Amino acid sequence: MLVRTKKHHTESVRFVGPPAAIKRLRELARETGVTEEAESIPASMLNPELDSNPGGVYLKGLRHRNSLSQEQLAKLAGIPRRHISEMENGKRTIGKENARKMARALGCDYRAFL
């Protein structure tokens, strides 16, 4: 039989405020035996595709940052739209020449795609 159990809603807390106040809160936490977790986690934990397709993830992120559709980027870079889609989804390698074209269109270093 499944029984519903209560669980605390908050197991960790993050503070925002003046540095002096946060420092004091950290001191109080140490005094009471509360431990502080690392504030950062690996990016691949949030997006596992970064391990298998880093160039495609970077391409998609830059395209969104520049508020471009795949069609708009295709026109700017001179690459077919379906190729951009395939690169973003890891179905096509980017290659040095395409990386240079997209880097010029997006204003970044081409090596980031490789």
pLDDT grade for 7, boundaries at 50, 70 and 90: low
CA angle at 36 for the pair 33 and 37, rounded to the nearest 5°:
140
What is the pTM for the complete model shown?
0.62
Summarised one tens digit per residue, pLDDT across range 81-92 is 999 999 999 999
Amino acid identity, position 32: T
Summarised one tens digit per residue, pLDDT across range 47-88 is 888 888 999 999 999 999 999 999 999 999 999 999 999 999
Amino acid identity, position 83: H
Q: List the domains of the chain with CATH numbers.
A: 43-113 (1.10.260.40)
| Beta carbons within 8 Å of 63's beta carbon, 6+ residues apart | 69, 70, 73, 84, 88, 106
CA angle at 106 for the pair 105 and 107, rounded to the nearest 5°:
100
